[in-house]
Structure 1
Amino acid sequence: MKFGIFIDLQLPRPWDEGDEARLFNEALEQVELADRLGIDYVWVQEHHFLEEYCHSSAPEVFLAACTQRTKQIRLGHGIVVMSPKFNHPARVAERLATLDILSGGRVEWGSGESGSRMELEGFGVDFVDKRPMWAEALEEAAKMMSMNPYPGFQGKYFSMPHRNVVPKPLQKPHPPIWAACSNRDSLKLAAQLGLGGLTFAFVNPEEAKFWVDEYYETFKKECNPIGQAVNPNVAMLTGFMCHKDQDTAVNLGYDGAQFFAYGLGHYWRDGIHTPGKTDLWEEFKKRPVTVDQKIEKERKKAGMRGIGNPKQLIENFRALEDAGVDQLILLQQCGTYRHEDICESLKLFAEEVLPQFKEREEKRIKIKERELAPFIEAANQKISLPDPLKDIPPVEAYPLIWEKMSAANTQGTPDRRPGMTAFWQMQVGGKRSK
């Protein structure tokens, strides 16, 4: 089993001047440390307007910084929101390819729809459109990175003419694609589409085995790839705080993991939020302990399996490894975790827990590759690109078009379209023709 860390950039109130800058710089230090320690992946979220819960609204910028401060760790979007109203597919393709070049081919393309009202309505997306928007944009962005030129597209949610989208990524045909999954149904859909499953849900080993087995059975029997390559993998999330003393680990890590789950509930399920005013951390601390909440708390204990001493973590993580989980993502920064505690936790994990999994992982990968090879080949046979343009239409600059249109005007009426002089004035002097 591989391991990743999770950059959520949580910042509970109260906020002081400079807190966001400190948070971002500390997160970059954590990524550098994870790289040195041999952790395999870092995943960086994309969320918008989710105060306190996630201040990571421009992951492509954060990951660009990571490309210059790391050498080995895989750099994952966890995720890119694919709706064209959030991110135009061509811009996604351009940014991913640029990151892939800058990182030496280390990018992982996590994709998703977004689901909170705060975000969807903030960008003018109707809830019922979010999944078809994701699918349409994802399929086309993969083609943009794979075709020279891209022949263009007329779709329901976005359209564009033929263009050659540059640069192209180092990883061919494009970086590995993942899909955000919050339940079994979405994980099954990821398998059907040949995508890795980023399961941002806390599950116990018994649930994990059921989810993983269903994913791989679905991949083998029903895969019809949406991208230009398949990526059969399942990653799962766990709360995380490692300390030699169990009680200390719980004291340091419990509230943060619970706040992560509380924030999910607030923005996605039952919260009432006043932008700029709601104090999420204060509400979290004052939450009443009802019978329903006690039940919910028990359910979330699955997310606490990464909080404890090294011996406990080895035992708990081995159970998830045995369940077939390909990657475990450590929720190392959330709530009010101190940077120093996060770093010490990661160091102890790398010293005493990680080595227990490294050797088995090499053997597991070889077995998995042999087992899946015929199914991957069968899925690859279903992948197709649109027919390339035989006669690529040229694209003339505006002044050439205006000149032709002016010459074609034989009615004797004044032509008020700008010529070259007017065009130059518009560009340089800001003047417009009347």
Structure 2
Amino acid sequence: MNDYVPSLLLVMGHMHEGMSDHDFMHAEMDMAIKAEGMGYSAVWCVEHHFDRVYSMCPDNFVYLTYLAAKTERIKIGIGACILPWNDPLRVIEKVNLLDIMSKGRLLLGLGRGLSRMEYGGFGIDMSEARDRWSESYAMISAAQKTGFIEGNGAFWKQPRTEIAPFSGIPLEGRTTEIAMSSESQILAAKLGLKMATFVVSPMDVMAPQLHKYREVFEETHGTPAPPPMVCDMITIHEDEEEALRLHREAVGAYFFSLIKHYELAGNHFKDIKGYESYDAMAGMFKAAGMDRAAEAYVQSNLYGTPKTIVEKIRANLEVAGDYDMSTIFSIGARPYPQVESMMRMFAERVTPEIVKMRTKRFASTPQRSMRGANAGSSMPVTAA
């Protein structure tokens, strides 16, 4: 699989009126299975709880085990396992089991979580999130080196215990942090992790964050950073005006579910340790007004004809440098035949152009050779 081929991300928001949870889960899986035949490099799936409208997949290890059994080549992406909500012992056991059962195709994501509602459901103080993540990550990364997990921290008391089965595939060089704040992006760079982020602003606004990540990574480790991963909501159609109409309909609905789930119109972030920077984001949304903020969000993500989208990606690469794309097509209440049509059109008419332009511009750079050295193994890790 070419390094430059985009992946697919399942955000798992159920807004389909009259559709059961059973049918929704299988419809999403059907798109994931078809992604292999369309040539996508990986399928990622989120972990979220207690809110079917925004996103519901309480155990992406279980969900993606089914995908692994139904496919042969496509990478299997846990995007992400939220460490503060999961026992580190169980995480590392599931990592190794799924990696073995998928024959080395597992891509592991480790996240921190942002929803006060989800933390409340687990009875966990959200102010502990970053410390819980750091403690758990240290245990898991060490366990994958040694085959044993142990810990005596503030949150997990874990006697030295053997991991069985054990794949023996290390995590170093194959890790990604989901980094939406500048603090998380710098942390990813200092830890030597690949970073991933979601499109929430135009690329010229996001680009300085990507450049800062690369700068800190190279300063810390003496080697170029791997290409960041950028997750984009996409609407593709032969008609430009229809693409915008469909984009506003689906991505706009998703935006309002996101605002509600994370309480981004609230004032609570400033009082939660580790989340203070999100108070500024919430303030911008409130200052702009939610309708204007929704339209800005819609415009920041990708829509248009195949030709238009190719040119937008070309422009984004010009300002942001090389990055990997993770595409999102199943958004809002978008009908599944339309989702499949968009996935296929993108794969057939946009992906080849992405591969060509990235190969021409970035194939000889050190970051690409670094990534190529790691591409044969699995389990990149993402943290929020």
TM-score, normalized by length of structure 1? 0.74
- What amino acid is aligned across from residue 333 of structure 1 in structure 2? S
Matched residue, 1:140: 139
CA contact (8 A) 1:146 1:174 kept: no
CA contact (8 A) 1:3 1:328 kept: yes
- What amino acid is aligned across from residue 8 of structure 1 in structure 2? V
Helix, strand or coil for the counterpart of 2:78? Answer: strand
Does 2:313 match 1:317? yes
Matched residue, 2:169: 171
Matched residue, 1:421: none
What whole-Å deviation, never above 9, does each CA across 1:165-221 have from its counterpart, x for those lacking one?
122236335793222222233212211111121212423221232122111101011
Q: 1:132 to 1:52 in 2, by over 3 A?
A: same
Instruction: Give the Å deviation of 1:136.
Output: 0.8
CA distance in 2 between counterparts of 1:74 and 1:231 reads 22
Matched residue, 1:236: 230
Matched residue, 1:283: none
Helix, strand or coil for the counterpart of 1:115? Answer: coil
- What amino acid is aligned across from residue 205 of structure 2 in structure 1? E
CA distance in 1 between counterparts of 2:103 and 2:38 reads 19
**Candidates 8, 15, 20, aligned match of 1:5:** 8
RMSD: 2.6
Matched residue, 2:124: 125
Instruction: Give the Å deviation of 1:303.
Output: 3.4
Does 2:350 match 1:353? yes
CA contact (8 A) 1:2 1:326 kept: no
Q: 1:99 to 1:329 in 2, by over 3 A?
A: same
- What amino acid is aligned across from residue 107 of structure 1 in structure 2? L
Matched residue, 1:51: 52
CA distance in 1 between counterparts of 2:234 and 2:171 reads 34
Instruction: Give the Å deviation of 1:249.
Output: 2.0
* Unpaired stretches in structure 1, ≥5 consecutive residues: 225-229, 273-288, 377-434
Instruction: Give the Å deviation of 1:148.
Output: 3.5
Taking every aligned residue pair, what percent have the same amino acid on both sides?
Answer: 22
Does 2:297 match 1:300? yes
Between 1 and 2, higher relative CO (CA 8 Å, sep ≥ 6) is seen in 2
Instruction: Give the Å deviation of 1:73.
Output: 2.1
What whole-Å deviation, never above 9, does each CA across 1:376-407 have from its counterpart, x for those lacking one?
9xxxxxxxxxxxxxxxxxxxxxxxxxxxxxxx
CA contact (8 A) 2:314 2:357 kept: no
Greater displacement, 174-183 / 310-319 = 174-183
Helix, strand or coil for the counterpart of 1:169? Answer: coil
Instruction: Give the Å deviation of 1:88.
Output: 0.7
- What amino acid is aligned across from residue 184 of structure 1 in structure 2? S
| Larger gyration radius, structure 1 or structure 2 | 1
Matches within 5 A, 1:144-293: 144-150=143-149, 152-169=150-167, 171-173=169-171, 176-223=174-221, 232-270=226-264, 292-293=289-290
TM-score, normalized by length of structure 2? 0.83
What whole-Å deviation, never above 9, does each CA across 1:250-286 have from its counterpart, x for those lacking one?
23332211222212211212579xxxxxxxxxxxxxx
Matched residue, 1:37: 38
Matches within 5 A, 1:71-90: 71-83=72-84, 86-90=85-89
Q: 1:237 to 1:203 in 2, by over 3 A?
A: farther
Matched residue, 1:107: 106
Helix, strand or coil for the counterpart of 2:93? Answer: helix
Give 1 or 2: higher strand fraction: 2
